[in-house]
Amino acid sequence: MIPGSFSYHRPSSVAEAVALLTKLGDDGRALAGGHSLIPMMKLRLAEPANLVDLAGIADLKGIRSDGNDIVIGAMTTQHDLIGSDLLGTKIPLLRETSLQIADPQVRYVGTLGGNVANGDPGNDMPAVMLCLGATYHVTGKGGERRIAAREFYQGAYFTALEAGDVLTAVRIPVPAAGHGAAYEKLKRKIGDYATAAAAVVLTMSGGKVATCSIALTNVAETPLWAEEAAKILVGSTLDAATVKKAVAAAEAITAPASDARGPAHYRTKMAGVMLTRALSRAKSKARG
Ligand SMILES: Cc1cc2nc3c(=O)[nH]c(=O)nc-3n(C[C@H](O)[C@H](O)[C@H](O)COP(=O)(O)OP(=O)(O)OC[C@H]3O[C@@H](n4cnc5c(N)ncnc54)[C@H](O)[C@@H]3O)c2cc1C
């Protein structure tokens, strides 16, 4: 339970962090809140020779509006997301999801950037970002680029980040006024990762679904955007028969592992149950 020895670096700008991480290559690793990385180091599943702590970079913190988007600095903690009035008004789904991550101690230091950059299929925020159509701002040796969350996740702990890259911010288009959203998560106990979870954002018009986005957590090596399932629901009143069809379409794209959280078939079915609940709750919050 004691990590291997490492050198500690504390840059004060993104440029300095990128230069350091680029120079260190495989020997260096960005450190954010440390609540995924340090446990991995204690288990010796990660043994970076150098940690590049992003905590001293003021530019990486904060939540702001930019036109119709909200931009959240990578080092913004999950606790900050919960307390943000701007997010509470514009994207309440983020508050709801953050409250389901771990416990207050983890949320005080765990960051949004670390949660989405980590690539752990058990992390809750990636599916929510797929659902919301978020974009990640990434700075690397070639300058800044933007990567759609829906294209970011390539396998367990394998993302579009390249050596030297720092994820600097998450950009989220504000869902339409009157939208409804929900994140439903099945866990074995408080503080646990999801057995399965589902995120839904939808709008209603004349009692029918006008737009819908669905994503799933921890039922494959990556978070899943359930595009076909959402399409099935558009134009419906979310009647039981149509929801059943959509749930079947969502279940069909899952490929969970059998593990301590249950056999694969059970976790697929629980993803369907979470989706059914999330749809119902999102509808109850939507106007129109
Ligand atoms: C007991 C416990 C329970 C937990 N339960 C949950 C849960 O239910 N749901 C959940 O989602 N999470 C859970 N977590 C994880 C927690 O949310 C972490 O804080 C989060 O996954 C990682 O954020 P971090 O800031 O701690 O990142 P770190 O641990 O510092 O970093 C994680 C990884 O991302 C990389 N990284 C971090 N920031 C950047 C960046 N800006 N640019 C490039 N790479 C970066 C690091 O190099 C590292 O590889 C739990 C953690 C603990 C200890």
Fold of 7-52: 3.30.43
Pocket test for ligand 1, best of 80, 101, 116, 162 (most atoms within 8 A of CB): 101
Check whether 243 has a pLDDT greater than 90.
yes
The token pair at 125 is: 């925020």
Give the model's pLDDT for residue 288.
77
Question: What is the model's pLDDT at position 285?
Answer: 97
Q: What is the pLDDT of residue 1?
A: 75
Ligand 1 pocket check: which of 36, 81, 157 to mutate, most ligand atoms within 8 Å of Cβ? 36
The class (CATH top level) of 63-173 is: alpha beta
CA-to-CA distance for 11 and 13, rounded, in angstroms?
6
Task: Provide mean pLDDT across the span 226-230.
Answer: 98
Q: Is the pLDDT of residue 2 over 90?
A: no
pLDDT digits (tens, 9 = 90+) for 29-54: 999 999 999 999 999 999 999 999 99
Alpha-carbon gap, residue 112 to 139, rounded angstroms: 16
Ligand 1 touching residue 72 (CB < 6 A) = no
Q: Is the CB of residue 46 below 6 angstroms from any atom belonging to ligand 1?
A: no
Q: Same CATH topology for 63-173 and 181-285?
A: no
d(CA 240, CA 246): 10
Residue of 52, 100, 106, 167 to test ligand 1 pocket, by largest number of atoms within 8 Å of CB: 106
Domain locations in the chain as residue ranges:
7-52, 63-173, 181-285
pTM: predicted TM-score of the whole model, two decimal places: 0.97
Say if residues 184 and 281 touch (Cβ distance below 8 Å).
yes
Q: What is the DSSP string of 10-53?
A: --SSHHHHHHHHHHHGGGEEEESS-TTHHHHHHTTS---SEEEE
Res. 263: pLDDT tops 80: yes
pLDDT of residue 15: 98
Report the CATH fold assignment for 181-285: Enolase-like; domain 1 (3.30.390)
Looking at ligand 1, which atom is closest to the CA of residue 157? 49
> Tens of pLDDT along 143-179?
999 999 999 999 999 999 999 999 999 999 999 999 9
pLDDT digits (tens, 9 = 90+) for 173-226: 999 999 999 999 999 998 899 999 999 999 999 999 999 999 999 999 999 999
Distance CA 97, CA 268 (A): 20
